[in-house]
Amino acid sequence: MSRTLFSDEPRRLIESSAEPLMTREQAQALIQRIIAMSQAEQVQVNVSSGQETNVRFADNRISTAGSVVNAQVVVGSSFGKKSAVVTTGDLSDAGLERAVRQSEALARLAPENPEAMPPLGPQEYTPSNAYFSSTADVSAAARAMAAKVAIDAAKAAGDIKVAGFLVAGASANALGNKAGLFAYHRDTSTNYTLTARTTDGTGSGWAGADHRDWTKLDFAAVAERAIQKARLSRNPQAVEPGRYTVILEPQAVADLVQILAFSLDARSADEGRSAFSKQGGGTKIGEKIVDERVTIYSDPTDPELLAQPFDGQGLPLGRQEWIRNGVLNNLFYSRFWAQKQGKAPTGFPSSLKMAGGDASLEDMIAATPRGILVTRLWYLRPVDPRTILFTGLTRDGTFLVENGKISRSIRNLRFNESPLFMLNNLEMIGRPMRVAGTESGGDVVLPALKVRDFNFTSLSEAV
């Protein structure tokens, strides 16, 4: 075995190319090359390429850092209603040919999928200008300097240890098929999250920033926010679990609203196994489900989102309103389910935004006789899909608000709550902002909210 695995003889070396990111022309040429190899009735090809670099630090020192260059090709071949998908990282002609033949061989053997849809023809996409060379070209030294801003601030403070993660990437996604479909999108991203902990172990604060353009990240401001929050959260006191008025910072709102968005599948609702199923059958589309001030939508070209304007099947994604003025406006319809139900397919959205109000966090605090201010949430997991009930905990800055002011730091709390209940108990809405640290990631822009009767069920000693 070892002889084969450790062959010393170079039999074939893979050709090297300089750029990690494929251009539109390169991606189109590659897809055409693969389509030309195909012997299947239909073939869909997805191509992705890119580079991701990061630096990670903890205990006031840089712990690991790296750079990854990668590319992938996905070939989906179909014969009638039989299909299979093969993914490969080997972009040589021989490698592509093997992937094509393999997907065809598997497709021939696969049973028929009665729900298979005919290929999608050419589509029109609204471009989303999500690529910034400031991000694509960022150097290892610049990344280390960004980390150093927080580390130096912590060292200067003396009573603070910081841990953080900064990642910058550039990627290009393209897809095409035999029926003339072609889509291409490239983007860059930077995401920075920072946790500051007081050295006495009683305080922890978190802050983050996320943007497609590296130059928009203010590393010093993030460090200042996290350190200030850590100090403010020292020596937390216990409060009784129960129902509280809460002020949720955008980060906390984003986790809960994203959970709601993940539940917006039309088919599950029609099948009677969703919070959006109507008793007796059908969906709740057209029904008022939350406070009338709530509008939740997707829009890839929104300047704060700049998301991919098509989904994995090539369906165009424009502005789509899921909840409009509190009424369930639409659900996610796949092409198959849309056809079956006589609806328009929506595709699977690439972004999420909630329309805001104009209240600042300070306004919300000032308008609260007694409540809890929550920085962020942690470890959200489904408890009951019938109501989208989730559990999770507060983290990195939880404060009691009394008489319009933050009065003290309090221990973290576990909640059992549903975004549907939360959005029905709405009191105030803040200005939407792009958030950096939801558990599911992605392009998400949400406001802070003030909500009554938020259900906390137990205390946590965790700092």
Partner 1 sequence: MTSRRKFLQQSAAAAAGIAALHALPPGLAHALATPGVSPLTYGLDPDTVPIRQLLTTAIDAAKAAGASYADARIGRARQNFVTTREQQIVNVVDTDTMGLGVRVLVDGTWGFAATHKLATDDVAAAAREAVSIAKANRLPGAPPVELAPGEVHRDVTWKSAFRTDPWEVPIEQKVQLLLGANAEAMKVPGVRFVNSSMFFVKEEKHFANTDGSMIAQTIIRSWLPFTATAVAPDFSDFQSRGNVIQPAGRGYEYLVEQDPVGNARKWGEEAAEKLKAKPVEVGRYDLVLHPSNLWLTIHESVGHPTELDRAMGYEANYAGTSFVAPPREKLGTLKYGPAFMNIQGDRTQEGACSTVGYDDDGIKPDSFLIVKNGIFNDYQTTREQAPWLDWWYKQKGMPTKSHGCSYADNWSSVAFQRMPNVSLLPGERDLSYDDIIAATDRGIAIVGDGSFSIDQQRYNAQFGGQVFHEIRGGKVVGMLKDVAYQMRTPDFWNSMDMIGGRSSYMLGASFFDGKGQPGQINAVSHGCVPARFRNTNVINTGRKA
Identify which of residues 357 and 421 has a Cβ nearer to partner 1 in the complex: 421
Segment near partner 1 (CB under 8 A), from 123-131, 162-170, 296-304, 319-327? 162-170
Min separation Cβ 193 and partner 1, Å: 6
Minimum distance from CB of 133 to partner 1 (Å)? 18
Q: How far is the CB of 145 from partner 1 (least distance, A)?
A: 9
Name the region of 318 (left: φ>0; alpha: ψ -120 to 50; beta: rest). Answer: beta
Which token pair is 288? Answer: 């008022």
Nearest residue (CB) to partner 1, 65 versus 365: 65
Task: Determine the size of the site formed for partner 1 (CB under 8 A).
Answer: 137
Pick the binder of partner 1 from 23, 26, 33, 90 (CB under 8 A). 90
In whole angstroms, how close is the CB of 257 to partner 1 at the nearest point?
A: 16
Q: How far is the CB of 37 from partner 1 (least distance, A)?
A: 14
Out of 22, 27, 34, 99, point to the residue binding partner 1 (CB under 8 A).
99
Closer residue to partner 1 (CB): 64 or 235: 64
Nearer to partner 1, 78 or 301 (CB): 78
Instruction: Map residues 175-204 to x or -, x wherever contact with partner 1 holds by CB under 8 A.
Output: x-------------x---xxx-x------x
13 binds partner 1 (CB under 8 A): yes
| Cβ at position 442, least distance to partner 1 in Å | 9
- Helix and strand element counts for the chain (H, E): 11, 19
- Angle at which helix 140-157 crosses helix 219-232, to 10 degrees, equals 30
**CB-based contacts of 433, cutoff 8 Å, min separation 6:** 250, 304, 445, 446, 447
Residues in the chain: 463
Q: Please, which of residues 21-80 interact with partner 1 by CB under 8 A?
A: 44, 46, 48-50, 52, 54-56, 58-59, 61-72, 74, 76
Task: Write down the least CB distance from residue 68 to partner 1, Å.
Answer: 4
Identify which of residues 49 and 330 has a Cβ nearer to partner 1 in the complex: 49
Tell me which residue of 255, 275, 204, 191 sits closest to 233, measured CA to CA: 204
Report 267-286 residues binding partner 1 (CB under 8 A). 271-273, 275, 277-281
Which CB sits closer to partner 1, 274 or 368? Answer: 274
The CA–CA distances, whole Å, from 151 to 158, 191, 224, 290, 365 equal 11, 17, 11, 43, 31
Q: Which residues contact 301 (CB under 8 A, 6 or more apart)?
A: 126, 127, 128, 309, 318, 319
Residue 169 or 447: the one with the smaller Cβ distance to partner 1 is 169
Among 38, 42, 78, 88, the residue binding partner 1 under the rule CB under 8 A is: 88
| CA–CA distance, 55 with 147 (Å, rounded to integer) | 7
Closest distance between partner 1 and the C-beta of residue 356, in Å?
Answer: 25
Give me the least distance between CB of 14 and partner 1, in Å please: 5
Those residues whose C-beta lies under 8 Å from the C-beta of residue 101, and which sit 6 or more positions away, are none
Q: Is 310 exposed, middle or buried (0-12, 13-18, 19+ CB in 10 A)?
A: buried
The pairs formed by 155-161 with CB atoms below 8 angstroms and a separation of 24 or more are: 155/60, 157/227, 159/198, 159/199, 159/200, 159/231, 160/196, 160/197, 160/198, 160/199, 160/227, 160/230, 160/231, 161/58, 161/59, 161/60, 161/196, 161/197, 161/199
Decide: helix, strand or coil at residue 368: coil
Is there binding between residue 17 and partner 1 (CB under 8 A)? yes
User: Which residues 279-338 are close enough to bind partner 1 by CB under 8 A?
Assistant: 279-281, 308, 311-313
In angstroms, give the least distance from the CB of 397 to partner 1.
12
Q: 277-305 as b/e, with b when 16 or more CB fall inside 10 Å?
A: beeeeebbbeeebbbebbbbbbbbbbeeb
Does position 235 interact with partner 1 (CB under 8 A)? The reply is no
Q: Which residue has the tokens 């209940």?
A: 421
> In the structure encoding, which two tokens stand for residue 265, read together?
């599948």
366-425 residues in contact with partner 1 (CB under 8 A) are 378-387, 389, 391-393, 395, 412, 414, 416, 418, 420-421
- Name the residue nearer to partner 1 (CB basis): 47 or 400: 47
Stretch that binds partner 1, among 118-126, 157-165, 323-331, 360-368 (CB under 8 A): 157-165
d(CA 344, CA 340): 10
Residue 308 or 368: which CB sits closer to partner 1?
308
